[in-house]
Every structure is written in C-alpha cells, then in structure tokens.
Chains A and B, each alone.
Chain A
Amino acid sequence: MLRETGSAQAALADASFQELCRRAYRFMLLARLAEDKLASLYRAGKIHGGVFLGRGQEALSVAGAMALRPGDIYAPLIRDAAGRLAFGEPLIDLFRTYLGSRLGPMRGRDGNVHRGDPRRGYLAMISHLGAMIAVVNGALFARRYRGQTGVVGLASLGDGGTSTGAFHEGINQAAVERLPLVLVIANNQYAYSTPTSRQFACKDLADKAPGYGVEAHRVDGTDLLACLTCLHEAVSRARAGGGPQLVVAQLLRLSGHGEHDDGAYMDPRLRELPLGRDCLPLAEKQLLQRGYVTTEELHRWRSEAQQTVESTAARVQQEPAPDPLLEDWCALSCRDMAEAPHGWESLAPGAKPGALV
C-alpha cells in the first residue's frame, strides 16, 4: 500500500506543471517574507502573544493546498502560512489576526494561527493537536450525505501530533467511513523541544498507515517539485474514492517552536542532512535549472512580494483594535439562550467593582 513518491518526472511532461511550480513558488515566497515581517514585528513588541513560523515547511504546505480545488475542505496547522495563501486566504487576514485587528476574520477574539473561514471550507484550528482531523471527517461526511462527490479534505499535522489520541481516533474514523481525507504529516523532527526519538518508536510514521487500512505516501518535504507531485497524487487518489491517504514528509523546522524560542536544543547536525535544506532557495534553484523562471523574474517577484508585505503590514497597523465596549460578550448564536449577566458581571467592561462602593 505504500507509495514512494519523490519523482516529478511524469508530471514534468505536463506543460501546466511549469505554471503550477511558478505559482507555488510565489506563495512560498510571499509566506516567507510575510512571516519574516511577523518576526520583526514580534521583536518590536507589536504582537500580542506568540509568533509561529512555517520556515522550512513552505514547499510541503503550499503543495497540499495547491492540490485542492475550490469547494474542498482545508484544515491547516500552525506552520501553514504558505498553504493558507494558496488556498485563497487574503494576506491581510494573516496580519489582521496576528495584530488583533477588529476588521480581521477573528475580530481579535482569537489570534495568530487560529484563523479561518469555515463557511468556505477553511477550518479554524484549535490548539489541541489532532483535533481537526475528525472535524474534517465530519465536513466530508456532510458533503457525501448531501450527495456531493469529488470533494477532498486535507488536514495538516506534525510529528508530535501523531502521538495524540485524536490522531488515532481521527484517522481510524476516516478509514472506517472511507472518507476522502488526506492527512499530511510534516515530520519536522521536533515537537517544541521534543525530538522524534521521544515521540514515537516506529521506524517511519508512514508505517502507521497500513495499520489503519490507509494508503501511505512518503516525500522529501524540502523538495517543492516532489511535494507538488506527491500531494497531487494523494489528493487525486482520495478524490477518486481511494479512501484516506497519509502523507509523511521529512523536513526540518528552520526556526524555534515560536519566535520566543531560539531552538538551542536542536541538533545542529540535522542542518547538514538533506532534510535540513531550506526549501525556498532549493525551489529557486529547481525552477531556474528547469527553465521555469528567469533570474529577472525571481528578482521582480521578490520585490513585488516584499512591497505587498510591507504595505499590508503598514495598513493593518493603522486598523482599529477590538473595543470591549462594542463586544456583545455572548458565546451563543441564539441570544435568547444566553444568560443575562448577574451580580457584578453586569458591570461595564473595564469598570472596577470598587466603583460601586
């Protein structure tokens, strides 16, 4: 059942593959530059809470989202800025959510990587790892229930997330229901500070797939062309009725867990391995070698992307913050089911109980 993927030869014959690679690279680049900007805003103290980068994981992330079609379900995780952009998230939503703009999709109620547009199949992750898999399953079930075929749902996870009960329950559930789920594991060698040796004892995470009756794919997560080919194949098989697909990519987290973390615990020798390569310059090299782009184009794209990032960040920094006085402080959509505030809870936000005395 295991599918070794890594060769892009078959797909290379297709002229549209060139265009796919060019678009994919531009999303990777935009994500990288946007996240570099986030890191600098973080260092400048402009961001509340943490900043979590997908540096080194852009190729895998973008490949997953680009294998999807409009109408598919997408459940990205913390290191998926590139995939989010490729799935159609406006860049401004990234900055608005990190900076807590009132105009953002989460309105300051949730931040950083916790953003989405569930009505359009773009699920907003919770922090608990593995928890989005079953949600994708349910969304896929709903599509099938309504008679809609040819839909795929893709969920992202890391090596650490595979240790959760939710991962086991979710992938097993997808297999039992034979749902078109593509579960992409970015094995970036660390879950926060914990190396894979303290996370699992199997030789390869892809080996878990047959135990669930699920097809497995292995891919070099640093290689954009390999990722595009592999994810295209996995998504196609799910779409064609092949049941859930588990994709396991080898790569390295090229940052700390978040920007508060320098990753000093990471083994420097990993950087010397093929999995330690930075996917972005590697993709540039691949695209140039194949004649898919020119050096001039790369320069122009970078400068355009940089300008977009700077102007978007500048615009969002001018936007209004959420106002507690304008909040309805109601967690229910049915307002008549919400309890009236009682006691001193009814005080205006920001007021001190002492004001009554």
Chain B
Amino acid sequence: MSITYLEAIRAAQARALAEDPRVFIYGQDVGAFGGAFKATKNLAREFPGRVIDAPISEDAIVGFAVGAAIEGLRPIVEMQFADFSSVAFNQIVNQAATLYWRTGVPCPIVIRLPSGGTSGSGPFHSQSLEAVYAHFPGLVVVTPATVEDAYSLLLESVALDDPVIFCEHKFLYYHLKADSLPTEALPLGKARIAREGRDLTVVAYSAMVHEALAAAEELQAEGWELEVVDLRSVKPLDTDTVMASVARTGRLLCVGEAWPWGGVTAEVVARVVSEGLSLLDAPPQRLNAKDTPIPYHPNLWAAHRPTARTIAVAARQLLQL
C-alpha cells in the first residue's frame, strides 16, 4: 500500500474529525464535492454536518472560523488556493493573529493553503505565501515537505491552540508517496536533516526540499556532499538545527519557492550571519523564484522557480568560493 501527500492530508483531517468532536471543516466546495483537490473526499458523508460548504467569501470564512474558535471549536479552513487567502488577509492577520495577545482567548484555527506552483497554473493559482504570514506575530506557519509531515504536522496543527497557516504544496499532492502513515514524528518547530553532508548546507522547505535532494544527488557524483535541512515549519524557525548544520559545513545556501524580497531565505541568512558569522567559510547565498508574477507557460514556469538544476549550479559556485 502507498499513500500520497494529498491522501495524508485527507487522512489527517479524517482522524481529527473522528477523534475530536470540536473539529469541523469549512471552505469552498469541501462538502459533497470533496474539495477542488479532493482533500476532503467523502468526509462530508462520513462526518455529517461537520464538513461545510462556504460561499466564495474568503474574508467571512476566516472570520467565521475565528468566531467558532472563540466559542471552543477547532475549525479547519480550506482555502481553495493559497492565492485566494489574500482576500482573507484582514481576518487572518488582524483578527485571528491578534486575538490571543489582545484578549487572552486562544484562537485554535488551521488555515490550509494549497500552495506553490504547478505547470500551467499561472499568476493566481501558484503562490507561496509563507513569508507573508510568517511576518505577522501570532501565527504559526507550517510547510511540510513529506507525506509523513503532511499527516503529522496537520494533526499537530489542529491540536495547537494558536492559528496555524498550513502551507501544503500542490506539486507534491499526487507525486509524493510513502508506504504508510507515520506512527511517530518530530514535533512541530523542529527542523529535520533530510540528507547528511559535510561540504555545504542547503536549507529548504516544502517542495524545494525535493529539488535540493535531487541537486545533492547530482553533486555527489562530482564528489561533493550536500547537507539538506528541511525546515518543516518556517515559523517557528528552528535556527539551532540550521546553525548546527552550518557549523559542520561552513557554507549555506537557502532555497525558497517564494519571491526574493525579504522572506524565509533572507531570514535564515540574517540569523546565521548575525549569530554565526564565524561559522561561515563563504558568503551565504539565497535562491528564490524570480521577482515577477508566476508565469503560465511550462517553459517560463520551470525557469521561474528554483529547481534541482539551478540549486546544483548555485551550490557549485558556492563551493568554489
């Protein structure tokens, strides 16, 4: 038996619904239709009255979730695409993210953002918004790269008393498979060494972990050993694991699918430089998407975001410095 990243997300939601009567799912087309990506397939039938179709009102969807959370429920919101969460931006960053700090009442909601690019999706169905949400205090931002993490981090997010932005990557939905669901997992907030190596640290998260692993494989043939750190969550950001890795390798390349200005890769570099400059044998480097909207055509799209090939090129350059 094998299970995909998408099936793991569905399974985690099914388990959360089964184990906690406070959990419900709210989003567009999530009910009988089972969601645009089928992440809630059959859940409305299995859990009557708890998987609820919403009007196309992202702002009101998240506001609704906050109100339900205040009253003690644990809503899971499915945004149809991460890109549409910008319509709910106010409720996310001003309502959900400030509630606990202002009033002392926790806000246990999970907002699932089908994130990242897939070929042919274009500017408005491809965005990676983790950096935007990580910028705001009061939010936890989770970026699973594996089937196991899609499952365990989603369950942990639902159990958390704070609002979680759960960035699940659409490119991984169908391709990424595991033999079974995990029975134990690293806790949320801990990064993972996805591949050990002595020469250079590649810090990545979400789909970029797999591009980084492929690049590491490519460079191994040339005699280089790349260490790949999977952040798992960008907020909290496990600086300790990153620093420990850089201490071993002396070189840092941060890879993110989001846009280059600011963002997760900039944050990682800033922390390593300000707290661990002496660990570095070469200037740390960042690799991000190009600073344009995300293109539609496969040729342009493939060149817009970092890939195993561009990571390998960047790593070779960095290894020469």
Contacts and interface: CB of A to CB of B under 8 A. Distances in A.
B4 interface: no
A281 to B, nearest CB: 36
B71 A134 contact: no
Contact of B94 (A128, A138, A165, A172): A128
Given A141-B67, A343-B275, A333 B59 contact: no
A333 B60 contact: no
A170 B67 contact: no
Interface stretch (A106-114, A242-250, A286-294, A305-313): A106-114
Interface residue range, chain A: 35 or more
A119 interface: yes
B63 A134 contact: yes
A141 B68 contact: yes
Given A135-B63, A141-B64, A343-B275, A123 B90 contact: no
Contact of B162 (A165, A172, A337): A337
B24 interface: yes
Interface-centre pick from B64, B90, B271 (highest chain A CB count, 10 A): B64
B140 A332 contact: yes
Interface-centre pick from A119, A134, A136 (highest chain B CB count, 10 A): A134
Contact of A138 (B71, B103, B188, B271): B71
A141 B65 CA distance: 9
A287 B271 CA distance: 68
Interface string B216-235: 00000000000000000001
A128 B90 contact: yes
Contacts, number: 147
B176 interface: no
A178 to B, nearest CB: 13
A333 B106 contact: yes
Contact of B67 (A136, A146, A331): A136
Contact of A331 (B49, B55, B71, B138): B138
Contact of B59 (A169, A332, A336, A342): A169
Contacts of B237: 339
Nearest to B161: A333
A124 B102 contact: yes
Nearest to B273: A343
B71 A143 contact: yes
Given A140-B67, A169-B60, A176-B55, A332 B105 contact: no
Nearest to B106: A333
Nearest to B238: A339
Contacts of B49: 145
A134 B60 contact: yes
B70 interface: yes
A199 B155 CA distance: 45
A29 interface: no
Contacts of B63: 131-135, 137-138, 166, 169-170
A135 B142 CA distance: 24
A133 B95 CA distance: 12
B70 A166 contact: no
Contact of B160 (A118, A126, A136, A334): A334
B317 interface: no
Contacts of B73: 142, 145
A176 B70 CA distance: 21
B72 interface: yes
Contacts of A336: 189
A336 B233 CA distance: 13
B99 interface: yes
A240 interface: no
Contacts of A332: 100, 138, 140, 162
A134 B61 CA distance: 7
Nearest to B69: A138
Interface of B: 24, 49, 54-55, 57, 59-73, 75, 90-91, 94-95, 97-103, 105-106, 137-138, 140, 160-162, 188-189, 235-237, 239, 270-271, 274-275
Given A109-B101, A134-B60, A142-B73, 12 more contacts: A105-B103, A117-B103, A123-B67, A131-B90, A137-B60, A142-B71, A172-B55, A173-B60, A331-B100, A332-B162, A337-B140, A343-B275
